[in-house]
Amino acid sequence: MGGVWSRWVSLTAAVVAFAWILAHAAVADASCVGPSVTPDHTSVARGEILEIRGFYFGTACNDTGGGGPALGKPQRAISVRIVQGDISVPVAVVDATSDYRFVVRVVVPAELKVGPATIAVSSANRPTAIVITDGGVPGLVSAPPTVVVGRDSNEIRVEPDGDNRRWVVGGLVAALAIATAVGAVVLRRRRS
């Protein structure tokens, strides 16, 4: 009977040690998606309002176990520009919200020409193509951007930073400890 008891204790110790390692290991909870922007229209006239939505604007990429939220802290002072050839017109400077996004409404600058252009945002992977058309508000040169905060908060989901997983593994370790204690009591009763 001593051999069974020692094997039971050894197996339990190995399982508890493995569970402890899982609970305390740095975990990749999400992948880092590069920042991107989406305009509400891909064709817009000079002087019209264009709504630009930015997604995944964080300061870090912690998807390899670096600790903390996957995207770090929300980016601040994000520069939004409309670019057409050699002309680059700043239209807004925004901060990302706690869920790494922004929504801003800007007036398409009157100094742009009819034709293809792009929305360029600092740290975004690539510019987003738009087409400037004729027929906007005559004489409107510029207007301050309108930053829309807290709108459509269910558009993206950022994964938690791993604390929930530690609670689950901790609960499993506790359940294993209880099962070990019950197993030890049952083995002692069988021996007596």
Dihedral of alpha carbons 150, 153, 159, 164, sign? positive
**Residue 180: CB partners within 8 Å, gap ≥ 6?**
8, 12, 16
Per the model's pLDDT, the better-predicted residue between 6 and 151 turns out to be 6
User: Do residues 39 and 87 touch, judged by C-beta distance below 8 A?
Assistant: no
Q: What is the structure's pLDDT at 51?
A: 94
Half-sphere exposure of 60 (CA within 13 A, CB side): 12
**Residue 59: CB partners within 8 Å, gap ≥ 6?**
71, 72, 73, 74, 75
CA–CA distance, 20 with 39 (Å, rounded to integer): 47
CA–CA distance, 67 with 140 (Å, rounded to integer): 48
Does residue 164 carry a pLDDT above 50? no
Does residue 80 carry a pLDDT above 80? yes
CA–CA distance, 53 with 166 (Å, rounded to integer): 34
* Total number of residues shown for the chain: 192
Average pLDDT over residues 167-188: 70
Q: What is the structure's pLDDT at 168?
A: 54
| Token pair of 22 as six digits | 């899982």
Segment 50-78, tens digit of pLDDT: 999 999 888 888 776 666 788 888 999 99
Burial of 138 (0-12, 13-18, 19+ CB in 10 A): exposed
Half-sphere exposure of 184 (CA within 13 A, CB side): 11
Segment 109-141, tens digit of pLDDT: 988 999 999 999 887 667 788 898 886 655 555
User: Do residues 158 and 100 touch, judged by C-beta distance below 8 A?
Assistant: yes
**Residue 189: CB partners within 8 Å, gap ≥ 6?**
none
DSSP single-letter state for residue 74:
B
Average pLDDT over residues 15-42: 69
Average pLDDT, the chain: 74
List the end-to-end C-alpha distance of the chain, in Å, as a whole number. Answer: 11
User: Do residues 136 and 91 touch, judged by C-beta distance below 8 A?
Assistant: no
DSSP single-letter state for residue 14:
H
